[in-house]
Amino acid sequence: MAKAEQLVFIDFEFSMPERHRVPKGFFPEIIEAGVVVVEYGKVTGTFSSYVKPTAFPKLTNRCKRFLSISQSEVDSGISFQCLIDYFNGLNDKGVAKVVTWGNMDMKVLRDNCAQTGVPFPFQAQFVDLSMEYKRFFGDQNQTGLWKAVQEYGREGVGKHHKALDDALTTQHIYNLVEKDKKYLDKAEPTTIGDRIDLSKFYNQLA
């Protein structure tokens, strides 16, 4: 029996240091994951969980304020290995594309895997929907997720910076773009390179 061709929409929230006080060796850890799984155009599953950080387990006040996440929520979250086990389970069923808004989600996932010595779980095509949106509509600047959906005359799903809500909103925009592409001849989606470069992200956190 052939494997299903799943589309997997992912959004992560990451830990962050206080401004101008970046601890030695700090790297962003995934502390919340939201996933939407689609088969044959239908949502067949969703996943939402806090993830317990280990390298820097105590969240900064800046992180808690910005993401509205409490220390107790991440302390009771699943382990990073459990998150990887979930992704490996999706792979067993077959994943055609992993879609994110921006390339930082996959870069941080790769980095977290490297830091913990865990194999990266995906071999699928990676689609940075923000770059496809930018190229499709000719925007000069990279558009934020919820700004993009509002430009379509719609509203985002749920709460901004809530991982599952952002994953659902990403899936919503993907559907809108794919529908429009049927009427216009556009290039193939931009794919994310394998190289890890978190320097710009670190600079934003500094």
Structural domain spans, the chain: 6-205
Instruction: State how far the Cα of 206 lies from the Cα of 21, in Å rounded to an integer.
Output: 7
User: Residues 70-80: what's their mean pLDDT?
Assistant: 97
Question: Which backbone phi and psi does 118 adopt, to 5 degrees?
Answer: -105, 135
pLDDT of res. 144: 62
Instruction: State how far the Cα of 98 lies from the Cα of 3, in Å rounded to an integer.
Output: 16
Annotated catalytic residue: which of 13, 29, 32, 132?
13
pLDDT-based confidence at residue 156 (cuts at 50, 70, 90): very low
Is 13 an active-site residue?
Answer: yes
Span 31-47, pLDDT tens digits: 999 999 999 989 999 99
Annotated catalytic residue: which of 5, 39, 73, 161?
161
Highest CATH level, class, for 6-205: alpha beta
Is 161 an active-site residue?
Answer: yes
Residue 160 has pLDDT above 70, yes or no: no
Whether 54 contacts 29, CB under 8 Å:
yes
The share of the chain scoring above pLDDT 90, in percent, equals 60
DSSP assignment, residue 143? P
Instruction: State how far the Cα of 205 lies from the Cα of 18, in Å rounded to an integer.
Output: 8
pTM of the predicted structure, to 2 decimals: 0.81
Torsion on CA atoms 104, 79, 58, 160, rounded to nearest 10? 50
Neighbouring CB atoms inside 10 A of 103's CB total: 19
pLDDT of res. 200: 55
